[in-house]
């Protein structure tokens, strides 16, 4: 089964040429990294944290992470972890087979890896429903297509269950099935939602501090204690537990920088584990 895009035309342009040109502009923009990715060979597997809002708000921030990862070469497989905003589908939903379509073409799902994950980690399910209307994984794929070109495969995983123990078990299962493979892990998340500028900066800093200290316990504690509405904390925790590198913040921004609405901001982070 192929997965058709649901965010094209809203989160990012639906026209292929317009989309490719727009992503290029995001990389080269003042808010972006100012350079284009050009992966060559393969040095090591890495992980990145990227936002998943509309490209006009968070796309330039995401580019910082994709450029950083590209410096370590082109992987064979990209595992994309995103939160489940819809409440539909399995607690841990793994897309089983086929391909994901975007205006830039199709990207194949690694069916063998999907089946291997379910064998190692039965709490996950081969499931379409969790992904059909979800944007957090989809919006990363045009960036991957622009950055890496053809020839990669993906493993889309949508997390309704973001408990700390589930993130740990998922991370260990991924470590088993990815052993001796060339991969990227992409953790898709936005940070605090819909508070004023001061609260957004404060709460985002608490998340970023826990992340850069590689402290999953602190991450969950501050989210709970400070009522931080970060949506993809389970994806980030899974990435941290995989221990693929040292956590580094690359860029932080807010929606207010674009919308000029500083009373209802969303925070965004680009980061790398390399």
pLDDT tens track for 10-33: 999 999 999 999 999 999 999 999
The pLDDT of residue 226: 98
The pLDDT of residue 1: 87
pLDDT tens, 131-183?
Answer: 999 999 999 999 999 999 999 999 999 999 999 999 999 999 999 999 999 99
Torsion of CA 68, 94, 91, 181, to 10 degrees: -50
Neighbours of 10 (CB within 10 A): 12
Regions in the chain scoring below 70 on pLDDT: none
Which segments of 59-161 are extended strands (E)?
A: 77-83, 92-94, 99-102, 105-109, 125-126, 153-159
The pLDDT of residue 207: 98
The pLDDT of residue 98: 98
The pLDDT of residue 111: 98
- Assigned domain for 69 exists: yes
Rounded distance between C-alpha atoms, residue 126 and residue 54, angstroms: 28
Q: What percent of the chain stands above pLDDT 70?
A: 100
- Assigned domain for 222 exists: no
**What range defines the domain where residue 176 resides?**
16-33+43-190+231-253
- Assigned domain for 197 exists: no
- Assigned domain for 177 exists: yes
Instruction: State how many domains the chain has.
Output: 1
Rounded distance between C-alpha atoms, residue 165 and residue 234, angstroms: 10
Distance of CA 70 to the CA centre of its chain: 15
The CATH number of residue 62's host domain is 3.40.830.10
């Amino acid at each position: 089964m192929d997965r058709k895009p649901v965010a094209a035309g809203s989160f990012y342009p639906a026209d292929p040429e317009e989309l490719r040109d727009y992503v290029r502009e995001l990389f080269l923009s003042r808010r972006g990294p100012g350079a284009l990715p050009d992966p060559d060979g393969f040095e090591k597997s890495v992980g990145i944290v990227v936002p998943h809002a509309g490209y006009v708000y968070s796309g330039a921030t995401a580019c910082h992470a994709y450029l950083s990862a590209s410096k370590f070469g082109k992987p064979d497989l990209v595992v994309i972890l995103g939160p489940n905003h819809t409440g539909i589908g399995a607690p841990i939903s793994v897309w089983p087979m086929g391909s994901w379509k975007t205006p830039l073409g199709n990207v194949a799902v690694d069916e063998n890896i999907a089946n291997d994950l379910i064998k190692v980690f039965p709490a996950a399910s081969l499931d379409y429903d969790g992904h059909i209307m979800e944007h957090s994984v989809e919006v990363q794929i045009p960036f991957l297509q622009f950055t890496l070109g053809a020839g990669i495969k993906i493993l889309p995983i949508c997390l309704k269950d973001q408990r700390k123990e589930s993130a740990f078990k998922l991370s260990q299962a991924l470590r088993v099935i990815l052993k001796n493979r060339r991969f990227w892990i992409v953790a898709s998340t936005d940070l605090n939602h819909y508070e004023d500028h001061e609260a957004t900066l404060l709460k985002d800093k608490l998340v970023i501090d826990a992340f850069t200290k590689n402290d999953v316990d602190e991450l969950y504690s501050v989210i709970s204690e400070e009522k931080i509405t970060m949506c993809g904390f389970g994806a980030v925790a899974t990435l941290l537990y995989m221990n693929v590198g040292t956590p580094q913040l690359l860029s932080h921004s807010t929606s207010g920088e674009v919308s000029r609405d500083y009373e209802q901001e969303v925070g965004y982070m680009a980061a790398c584990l390399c």
